[in-house]
Structure formats: C-alpha cells, structure tokens
Amino acid sequence: MVFVLYKVPIIYDVKYCIEIRTLVCYTLFTTIEEALDVNAIPKPSGKSKVSRPTRDEFDLQELAEKLGQSLEGSTQLVFTIWKSSETAQGTVTKMDTATQRVHIQTRYEGLLKIPFIDILKAESLE
C-alpha cells in the first residue's frame, strides 16, 4: 500500500468575498506505479467564477445620485465594494468618466480608485 498526500484548493464565497483555502487529502494506492500515475490523483474541479450581482437601472441611478451628492457636498459615505471583505468610509473627490472609476478619499487607506460597477451600496453616516 502507498499513501499519497496532496493539496486541493477550496474556493467559497462569503458575502462577495472569495476565500481560498487548501485542503490536504490523501489517497491509498495498491502499487507504487499506480501512485506515480498522474491521472490516479483526482484533480480539483474547475474554479467557479463568482459573478457580480445584477442591479437594475433604478439602483444604478440611485447610486449615481448618492455619489454626486457626496461629490458636491463633501459628505461622508460608507461604501460596500464587491469582492471586498471590509467597507470603505470616505468622500467622493472625483468621478472619472474616461476610466469609469470613482475616486474616494478615505481617512486611513488614502485615495481609492474603485470602478463604479464594483460599488454595491453607498450609505450616509447619519
């Protein structure tokens, strides 16, 4: 009997945050030749692509209005960003139409340039 250890990546989604961990597996083979065969060790399944949540035109328009109000009035907003485990808090300093990115000045991270489509939610601090 031959005992073979191998690692399998595990991908899962927790509130739009993908975490990758490694699971250590083992397989018992009857002969060394069978263990050396590449096809004998099961390959991990293909990575599942996590798609961005879909939003309708009304949601996008409402988000654009909140961003515009923050830009004009320098009000603080809390941003929920796709594929980010933490929220960002700051004010909108620029909305770049060429790159479709929103420039957000935060207190601790500095200037963030986030694609408009990746901003899931913007809420005021009040």
Q: Which two tokens stand for residue 32?
A: 């060394």
CATH number of 57-124: 2.30.30.100
pTM of the model: 0.60
- Quote the pLDDT of residue 77: 94
Q: What are the beta bridge partners of residue 96?
A: 101
Domain boundaries, the chain: 2-40, 57-124
| pLDDT value of residue 109 | 87
pLDDT digits (tens, 9 = 90+) for 92-119: 999 998 999 999 999 888 999 999 999 9
Write down the pLDDT at residue 85.
82
> What was the pLDDT predicted at 17?
45
Strand 2-14 relative to strand 17-29, pairing:
antiparallel
Count the Cβ atoms, other than its own, within 10 Å of residue 103: 17
100, containing H or E segment: none
121: closest CA among 72, 84, 75? 84
Residues 77 and 114: beta-carbon distance below 8 Å: no
Tell me what pLDDT residue 74 has: 85
